[in-house]
Amino acid sequence: MKMAVIGAGIVGLATGAGFADLGHTVQCVDIDTSKIAQLSRGIIPYYEPGLEALVLRNTAAGRLSFGHDPAKVLLEAELVFIAVGTPTGDTGEMSLAALWSAIDRLEAWPQSDVRRIVAIKSTVPVGTSERVESRLRGRLPEHCLVDIVSIPEFMREGSSVRDFFEPSRIVIGTSSADVAEKLTQLHQRLPGPILATDRRSAELAKLAANACLAVKISFANEIAALAEQTGADYPSVAHSLGLDPRIGPHFLAAGLGFGGSCLPKDTRALVRLADEVGAPQTLVEAAVRANAMLPLRMVRKLEAAISDPRRRKVAILGLSFKPGTDDIREAPALRLIAELTRRHPGITLTAYDPEAGAAARKVLPSSVTVCDSAEEALKDADAAILATEWREFRHIPADDFKKWMNRPIIMDGRNALDAAALNAQGVVCIGVGRLPVLPKEFIRRAGELVPKI
């Protein structure tokens, strides 16, 4: 099939390259001409495991190409995916500007008996597919037969290629049985279950999935706080919860909470939509509020470990919103840095991330030194906060923490380190939802943790 994808972000590119790999001819289009120029030269503008190889393989085979003019895509392609960004402001209103801009540029195609399909992959408010349909039908001449469907995307950053080839499910929202059949056949080579439904249900299924994940994470974080206050060990509690098949083991990790380009914006959008139609989502609202409190909670823990933070040097390990990506959008690490500098103006902050350093340098205040290695960030630090659980942080030996840092005090904001092993070797490692165990080399004196003399 001839396809096009409008929007060459991670979702659009992984989808386009994925379908090309299945043998289809795909053009990926983006109005960002510099991005398209990079892609045409085989350069992937973001860090996404496996995507470069997939793109290069299919470009070389002539199945994948790039362009910057969305106007022409329906002249050639029978199926057009729309995968543009739908950002949400603080009010929760989702901006559909990029979607309308794409739709309004689509040009008519010559008389033909092949119907075209426009499939919306972007996360959108419920009812958007119908609005797109009436707008497009109002613009295009009568001979242009087009079906608008909702095929929400559930892929995650950092594993988009794997998620394309092994989807948890494929949801096809359409009002046409023929289109459902055609798209079911198209997706049949992928292993996930295929669910054909109406367009509004497909749109809500996506918003509800992200909201459900957010609620699960905030639940985990609140139980972890309760564990800290009652002397229980949250990782053990989570392990037990996860063994119940009705609950499941995923998305129960406590820490600095959820960030990224989807969960924060989609929860805000769901809450706003729900308010507008009079079906308030009190649980999701509470999950959003609980998530927003986590950076402050971490700063308070730090305050209990080092006195007068504004005279101290603190290293932040990890800046991306999760490991495996260089994306810093709504990253908990950045909210943590904002909270630290708000409460302790003058604090010396260093930061290191294996992939997101360049992106972070552009947005962090100049007072934060973004370093090129963990060693450089940790050098002479009075404490460190692990904000993103990159694998390389797990391999830092206790001796290096002791050698590099002024005081080896690690606040492990993702329970990523082996706290018991580090404590046994003289490093203070304080996790989330667990009682701090002090190494024998440390004592608490005058409101802070200090080495025994």
Tell me which residues touch ligand UDX (CB under 6 A): 153-157, 210, 213, 217, 251-253, 255, 257-260, 262-263, 321-322
Choose between 151 and 252: whose C-beta lies nearer to ligand UDX: 252
User: What span, in angstroms and rounded, lies between the C-alpha atoms of 67 and 32?
Assistant: 10
- Strands 2-6, 383-386: pairing kind: unpaired
Element (H, E) at 207: helix 199-230
Choose between 27 and 210: whose C-beta lies nearer to ligand UDX: 210
Q: How far is the CB of 114 from ligand UDX (least distance, A)?
A: 31
Q: How far is the CB of 209 from ligand UDX (least distance, A)?
A: 6
User: What span, in angstroms and rounded, lies between the C-alpha atoms of 319 and 216?
Assistant: 23
User: What span, in angstroms and rounded, lies between the C-alpha atoms of 390 and 320?
Assistant: 9
Q: How far is the CB of 2 from ligand UDX (least distance, A)?
A: 26
Name the DSSP class of 107: P
Choose between 235 and 357: whose C-beta lies nearer to ligand UDX: 235
Closest by Cα among 77, 75, 159, 155 to 123: 155
Which listed residue (28, 144, 262, 371) is catalytic? 262
Choose between 252 and 360: whose C-beta lies nearer to ligand UDX: 252
Q: How far is the CB of 339 from ligand UDX (least distance, A)?
A: 16
If you write DSSP's letter for every residue of 398-425 in order, what string do you get?
HHHHHHHSSS-EEEETTS-S-HHHHHHT
Name residues whose C-beta falls within 8 Å of residue 41's C-beta, 6 or more positions apart in sequence.
none
User: What span, in angstroms and rounded, lies between the C-alpha atoms of 52 and 44?
Assistant: 6
If you write DSSP's letter for every residue of 314-369 in order, what string do you get?
EEEE--SSSTT----TT-HHHHHHHHHHHHSTT-EEEEE-TTTHHHHHHHS-TTEE
Q: How far is the CB of 417 from ligand UDX (least distance, A)?
A: 16
144 is catalytic: no
Q: Which residues are catalytic?
A: 262
